[in-house]
Structure 1
Amino acid sequence: MSAGGSLAGGGSSLFSGFRVLGLYSNHVPHALRYHKKHREFYVVTAVGKCFHTYNVNRLGIVAVSNSLPDDISCVAADRMLVFAAAGQLISAFARNKEVVMCYHGHSQEVRVLLPLGDQLISADSGGDVIVWDVQGGDVYLRLQFDPATFDVTAMMHPSTYLNKVLLGSSQGALQLWNIKTSKLLFTFPGWSAGVTVLQQTPAVDTVGIGTATGRIIIHNIRLDETLMSFTQDWGPISSLAFRTDGPPIMASGSPQGHIAFWDLDRRQLVTQQRHAHSTAVATATFLHGEPLLVTNGADNAIKVWIFDQEGGGARLLRSRQGHSAPPTTIHHHGNDGKNILSAGQDGTLQSFSTVHERFNKNLGHGQFKQKKKKGLSYEELRLPAITSFSSAAARQSDWDGIVACHRGRLAATTWNYQRCTMGAHHLQPPVTRRDSIATAVAITSCGNFAVIGSSCGRVDVYNLQSGLHRGCYGDNNKAHSGAVRGVATDTLNQLSLTTGSDWLLKFWRFKTRKEEEQLKLNAAPASMMLHRDSGMLALALDDFTLLVVDIETRRVVRKFTGHHGNINDMTFSPDGRWLVTVAMDCTIRTWDLPSGCLVDCFLVAMAPVGVSLSPTGDFLVTTHVDSLGVYLWTNKSLCGPVGLRPLPADYQPAVETLPGVTADELEQEIASEEADDAFESADQLGAELVTLSLMPESRWKSLLHLDVIKRRNKPAAPPAAPAAAPFFLPTLPGLTPRFMSPTATEQETQVELLFLKSCFILLTLDDCVVVDCVVVVVVSMFVNLSCQISQSLFSFNEALCHIHITVMSFVFGLNVSDCNCVS
């Protein structure tokens, strides 16, 4: 390794991408599918270069598609496939994952897709409308329009209209085409407003048309007659949906995130759902035959509404939503490392679970106090975005355990994690300058106190249970001459540490609030992080350097250089051995404190702004510029030995791909409605190689000894059928049927009884000698007469008796000399 040359990196040796949390939807309208085999509805939403599939019953993610080269601009779905357009390319996905067909032919960005039977219709921004053969990928029909006169913005297939497609334009006109004969059937002049939505109503020949002026027209395309119209005051119509489970209700979406519900019988507005989404409603779709409405928007949210309220109103049944603006600050909450608190530019505070999405929490927006709510709009009630926060789980069941600072505000707010709401206290110092704002906050390890620093140099202490002010640090109520950049407290609440823009790090006695010592820094600090267990304090300076201070000796023990941009955030490993930092130079660096060396460094595509390492050390969490997700990285050192070596000063890190979304293994994977049980052979390794089985060893290892198994299981002799025997003979108990062999005395008794019963039957039948032997045998079974009773009841003629005896001996093969009654 030469001293002058740069050493190229091979990626991170310590962290590997695992998955991203909090990405659900964007501005692309969703597609709804119904799976007949599963009897369940699925919603498909686009997220960047891939799309996600969720089941509507639980909103659990069941599939994540492969990535496309560009961001997805529109999606559509039919019974078998999901179609996604990215730029000029259209891709067909099978089983919601794999690309099975690509359609090339557009020269501009595709913005509308419409599956129609075995064909797919697409329209781009250049005026080309192409009809594709889905199976072969060939162009069946191509229509060219002039965007200046007819710019296609919406497409719809009218119900029961065979091979017919209705096209809407931004100029307001509509055209009905037959795609089989390539003929224009009819042109509707329009209503002097651009068409944004075309939607089939439950009635045949009737279409709902949404315009850019907020007008909704219900039009009969067969008679070319307008049945009714409505006007929405919230701007253009972004979506239309019609309820099919009974009540004639129509839902219309708006760019403001509101949804209006119209009664088509009474032709009036029934109710409205304000702020259903914080951004424009991309699509609203009613489930067929159910009182459920599925909506998605650019605010990164999927919501399911149910209509069970009085007056026809809807309530939120279930939802999946993340940050609608990029998150800026993240911290792990609790000691198990399963929950991540995230504050974003959208003003919300959310909790993401690394276990399952159902454990996610949205603590909502901060709001002003009750007395300030009068006369303010919904937007004015919200507090600005959170700039920094601190949390403690020690007393969160008793009172609020989260304290947050807001942009441009002096008062800090408290939050309750268990109730998922904003707390009752607004922590504000009693006397201060009006232009001061809260800049740093820390909660003590016991969870009883909060230490808050402000831009005017004040550092105040508050009691979290009562929200009362308990004092401040420094003479004249000022701890620093400049803005406070960071505050921290030790484990036993003996020491408080503050740093400010005056280049000073100060040590205070927590209880008496007296200054003990101060340390002059080389530059103004940007942020501060304390590892309480080890007593190591990390400071990020404005000159892109890092300092590590031992709070016991109060001396600088490590100094790191290497970043080429502002250090945005940093975190310690649970054992205090590593310090992970992120900066605007798009690098994530890991520093080893005992050796004082850089041991890991890698690049990411977007600059990271927040980082947190879990208390268990299993996951590293990062947030990035212009990204709504929370990214998880696996710590490789927990899975096996990792060889870490000091990296040189001229080390050139490699780019690591940001992790993507993974489907939950517990959820059922949705597939197309093809035969799922069809066997597919494994991929052949080579022309002359053996294909390995995917089955467990217990299923195929016995095949190697099949001849031995057959020879061992071969019977010694063929099975012999048992001899025929009367069904009334006694048998021995056991698994093998065996007849009971009677003794000599029992045999004589049976012969006597059988003979006497036969004689009795012969005499009662008027001395008939020829009697059916079967009848005699059956009757003799149920007649229970003894030999003595037979002799006392009947006096036999000797000749007749001998005749009977002879006949019976002939029929049954009895020995007459053995009968005692005859002698």
Structure 2
Amino acid sequence: MANEKGVRGSVLFAGYRSLGLYSNHVPHVVRYHKKHKEFYLVTAVGKSFLTYNVNKLGQVAVSNALPEEITCLAADRMLVFASYGNLLKAFARNKEIIHTYKGHESDIHLVLPFGDHVISVDTNNTVIVWDILSAEEYLQLNFDKGNFDISAVMHPSTYINKILLGSQQGSLQLWNIKSNKLLFSFPGWQAGVTVLQQAPAVDVVAIGLANGKIVVHNIKFDETLMTFQQDWGPITAISFRTDGHPIMAAGSPIGHIGLWDLEEKKLMSQMREAHSTAIAGLTFVHGEPLLITNAADNAIRVWIFDGPGGQGRLLRFRLGHSAPPTFVRYHGQDGKHILSAGQDGAIHSFSTIHDRYSKSLGHGSINKAKAKKVGLRCTYLRLPPVVCFASETARQNDWDGIIACHQRKSYCTTWNFVRSTMGAHKLKPPNLKTKGTYATAVDITSCGNFVVIGLSAGNVDVYNIQSGIHRGSYGEDTAHDGPIRGVAVDGLNQMTVTAGDDKLIKFWKFKSKQLMHTVDIEVTPTCILLCRESGMLSVALEDFSIKVLDIETYKLVRRFPGHNGKINDMTYSPDGRWLLTASMDCTVKVWDFPSGCLIDCFLLDTPVVSLTMSPTGDYLATAHVDDLSLYLWSNKSLFSMVSLRPLPSNYEPVVVMLPGAAEEEEEEIVEVEEVSEDMMEYESPEQLGERLVTLSLLPESRWKNLLNLDVIKRRNKPKEPPKLPKSAPFFIPTLPGLVPRFVTEVEDESTQSKVVNLGVLERKSVFCVQLEESLKHENYDVPLKTIKEMGPSSIEVEIRSLAPDGGGSVELMQSFLKMIGRMLETKLDFELAQAYLALFLKIHLKFISSEPTLLEEFSTLSTSLDETWLHMQKLFNQSLCVLTYMKSALL
């Protein structure tokens, strides 16, 4: 059974998408869509690439994942080309792979679209020209790596069938790929070529060198027009403005950008610290004063040049963690924001709705004012990474609502979510005697006024987060004999729970700081988590098991066997029924509190260091070891029926791919298997059984106004009388249709009409025929289905035509009453039976009183109707009695 369960993956969660991953070291690509008349930006993120519109930097597409990480990106008007290993793939519609180019024996590191062809260069110095549509090799060139190691490739503008190759030795070669001839060789400038970029002027190429020099060269006359020197290392990217300003931008390995004036032939300005790592891609948008940059620091930035001095200012950006996140929590109760702290020392807020709502709260600083003056690179002023934090939205508009605990720091910092900045207070115990003490655990009250901080020396202190004033400590000297492993405050600020290295769980009065109870758990805890709604305290232990205590009774209520590795984090479902745990054994487990069983378990490639579940229950967010991204997992139980079965003790899960890490075809197959193996399909009937009186699913307009049709017709009667035809027809008029039917006019009793009633001559309707057949077989499902599909006017016509005067008969009227009786017996469509019977009596009451057969049938029907109403009256009285009792008890 374990193997069968393992094949299906996770029962409760399906990979949805990743958050917070925007860019890596691969240079970006900018495309122009003629139909949309818009520029698009393509960036690589691991095994897939993302597409953004430049106007708003909104993500518009995510490509299917490749088996390995993308090493090179390129694009033309229609396709996006991505390489990994020795393979090159062509993507259509920014998502689907339509062509694969196989032929290289080593890894591809350069790709250049070239009209109907695409050129790829591998590390063995093999150049292959491919036909895009046929995916066949058009030409292959081999170069000696010792003499000409290709490091850059470019197509000079207006040079038909020609490409320019740059080498690490510094020389350049111009080739005609149609005739397979070397046209010209450039000796170079005694430094390796890193970048080749076409200038706006024809025949002019900018050449970036490994020694930081930029050469603007005319390749037609082999003449150097100008040279520039940057002191920041090799040139990583070059781009030219095309909106009328002769400006060239060049990137550097330390994140600076130099802006060079081509008319004055001098450095115009510098954009220092544009990124914290080497500039990977740098592109001026054609015809606009916009510069797009990306780097390996997981950031995309759009700069606009609209101010004096030619200095660019930041217009739009997408920024994530530059080092793996270590602690994540949902912020607020709407489930739209996830707070994340990473090894880079920054706190970010990622939106699950749209990237434009994501923001960075910045890095913690020892001295905020001084750090603001120095700039981004003041690493000596930065605080260490945040180990854990707690947030609350109750008073976040008034003062700080986030408390953060930093690595090996004795004080904790406050942060403001609304202003997206570090707060005003650093909370440190006033009388700290032990040196080397640091904060280990924090919590914030649900009212947003107080924070509780646990220290490595065993102290637990309370602070007012608005003023930063110390409000007391728990215990005479220390709360525990050893480092604090966790602190928690209940939802009403009545109780504080602390866990320490001394294997004790202590319960304190929040206000008076008195010790109420102590529980010895026999094993050292690693972390605790309190569900404020249910009062369940989960304690993760060093033996990898989990104990659950009730904070009201201080009793152990559940014991879960746990994992095979250190438990990194825990989270609750919004209703408090599930406990989700993540461990270093790379598994995520879901424990069910009511049954005390493990109901789901799935294995991942890398361990989850932190996880959090949305307050709305729709997503689970996870952060992984050595991974910059956060991953969202959708909760299947919200949109499909999930069969939750206890998993056996020998359950062995299989690896579940991260969102975006597997091809879609594989995911679809897995989902189909899950449905077929695990889910039991159940179709709800239209109405419930015979024990209950059940209403139909028809709208009220079908039955509510049946008794008032005459009033409605009188109200809707035209003001002008109908005009008489000039000449009477020779034949009786008929209605169009496959079955010939005479036109009938129902004579209104209140008006005098000269139209002859032709009901006797009319052909019987389908409903009447079905009633006659049902009288023989005593099965009234067919006529009931027919009348339920009719509108109010059609129902009135059909009921009128049941009488002998309308073309019917006594047997038809008797059959109709039997159908109503059958509806009352089954207790289905109760309101329809009442409406149909009321209209029948209103029209045919006089005729029924003169027919013994109908009177006998009606007496039987009346008895059944009385029994049904008595049963309903009894239910109503019981419900009213219970409701009255509950109201009186509450008052």
Q: Same fold (TM over 0.5)?
A: yes
User: Tell me, what secondary structure is at the counterpart of 2:309?
Assistant: coil
What residue number does 1:53 align with? Answer: 51
What does 1:184-333 correspond to in 2, within 5 Å? 184-333=182-331
User: Tell me, what secondary structure is at the counterpart of 1:317?
Assistant: strand
C-alpha deviation, 1:321, in angstroms? 2.0
Change (3 A) 1:222 1:42: same
CA distance in 2, matches of 1:315, 1:661: 36
* TM-score for both structures, normalised by structure 2: 0.72
Confirm whether residue 466 of structure 1 aligns to residue 464 of structure 2. Answer: no
**AA aligned opposite 1:652:** E
Confirm whether residue 101 of structure 1 aligns to residue 99 of structure 2. Answer: yes
What residue number does 1:619 align with? Answer: 619
The answer to whether the 8 A contact 1:260-1:273 is kept is: yes
User: Tell me, what secondary structure is at the counterpart of 1:475?
Assistant: coil
What residue number does 1:730 align with? Answer: none
CA distance in 2, matches of 1:370, 1:598: 48
CA distance in 2, matches of 1:602, 1:8: 8
What residue number does 2:445 align with? Answer: 444
What does 1:564-575 correspond to in 2, within 5 Å? 564-575=564-575
C-alpha deviation, 1:515, in angstroms? 2.1
Greater relative contact order (Cα < 8 A, sep 6+): 1
What residue number does 1:38 align with? Answer: 36
Deviation per residue, 1:657-678 (Å, 9 max, x gap): 212399xxxxxxxxxxxxxxxx
**AA aligned opposite 1:404:** A
The answer to whether the 8 A contact 2:163-2:175 is kept is: yes
What does 1:268-417 correspond to in 2, within 5 Å? 268-370=266-368, 373=371, 378-417=378-417
**AA aligned opposite 1:330:** V
What residue number does 2:534 align with? Answer: 534
CA distance in 2, matches of 1:456, 1:643: 47
* TM-score for both structures, normalised by structure 1: 0.78
CA distance in 2, matches of 1:430, 1:186: 76
CA distance in 2, matches of 1:42, 1:521: 58
The answer to whether the 8 A contact 1:6-1:652 is kept is: no
Change (3 A) 1:375 1:13: closer
What residue number does 1:423 align with? Answer: 423
C-alpha deviation, 1:417, in angstroms? 0.8
CA RMSD of aligned residues (A): 2.0
What residue number does 2:476 align with? Answer: 475
Which structure 1 residue ranges, 4+ long, deviate > 6 Å from structure 2?
none
CA distance in 2, matches of 1:548, 1:142: 67
Confirm whether residue 123 of structure 1 aligns to residue 121 of structure 2. Answer: yes
The answer to whether the 8 A contact 1:293-1:304 is kept is: yes
C-alpha deviation, 1:381, in angstroms? 2.5
CA distance in 1, matches of 2:231, 2:382: 24
CA distance in 1, matches of 2:574, 2:66: 38
CA distance in 2, matches of 1:142, 1:370: 58
The answer to whether the 8 A contact 2:319-2:359 is kept is: no
The answer to whether the 8 A contact 1:328-1:343 is kept is: yes
Greater gyration radius: 1
**AA aligned opposite 2:593:** L
The answer to whether the 8 A contact 2:302-2:315 is kept is: yes
C-alpha deviation, 1:514, in angstroms? 2.4
When structure 1 is superposed on structure 2, of 179-188 and 545-554 the one drifting more is 179-188
Deviation per residue, 1:572-629 (Å, 9 max, x gap): 1122111000111111100011221111111112211111111121211111112222
Where structure 2 has 5 or more consecutive residues not aligned to the other structure, the ranges are 663-735, 739-891
What does 1:346-745 correspond to in 2, within 5 Å? 346-370=344-368, 373=371, 378-432=378-432, 433-476=434-477, 478-660=478-660
Give the length in aligned residue pairs. 662
User: Tell me, what secondary structure is at the counterpart of 1:358?
Assistant: helix
CA distance in 2, matches of 1:524, 1:294: 52
Deviation per residue, 1:650-699 (Å, 9 max, x gap): 1111222212399xxxxxxxxxxxxxxxxxxxxxxxxxxxxxxxxxxxxx
**AA aligned opposite 1:451:** V
User: Tell me, what secondary structure is at the counterpart of 2:492?
Assistant: coil
C-alpha deviation, 1:278, in angstroms? 2.0
Deviation per residue, 1:94-116 (Å, 9 max, x gap): 22222221111100110101111
User: Tell me, what secondary structure is at the counterpart of 2:307?
Assistant: coil
CA distance in 2, matches of 1:329, 1:199: 42
Which structure's residues are more often helix, by fraction? 2
C-alpha deviation, 1:7, in angstroms? 6.9
What residue number does 1:137 align with? Answer: 135
State, as a whole percentage, how many aligned pairs show the same letter.
60
Deviation per residue, 1:393-417 (Å, 9 max, x gap): 1100110000111112222111111
The answer to whether the 8 A contact 2:64-2:660 is kept is: no
Change (3 A) 1:375 1:158: closer
The answer to whether the 8 A contact 1:19-1:661 is kept is: no
User: Tell me, what secondary structure is at the counterpart of 1:142?
Assistant: strand
C-alpha deviation, 1:224, in angstroms? 2.0
User: Tell me, what secondary structure is at the counterpart of 2:39?
Assistant: strand
CA distance in 2, matches of 1:375, 1:337: 37
Where structure 1 has 5 or more consecutive residues not aligned to the other structure, the ranges are 663-710, 714-823
**AA aligned opposite 1:278:** S
Change (3 A) 1:524 1:286: same
The answer to whether the 8 A contact 2:79-2:94 is kept is: yes
**AA aligned opposite 1:444:** T
The answer to whether the 8 A contact 1:388-1:441 is kept is: yes
**AA aligned opposite 1:196:** T
The answer to whether the 8 A contact 2:65-2:661 is kept is: no
User: Tell me, what secondary structure is at the counterpart of 1:539?
Assistant: strand
C-alpha deviation, 1:517, in angstroms? 2.2
The answer to whether the 8 A contact 2:546-2:562 is kept is: no
What residue number does 1:14 align with? Answer: 12
Deviation per residue, 1:539-575 (Å, 9 max, x gap): 1111111111111111222111141111010011122
What residue number does 2:758 align with? Answer: none
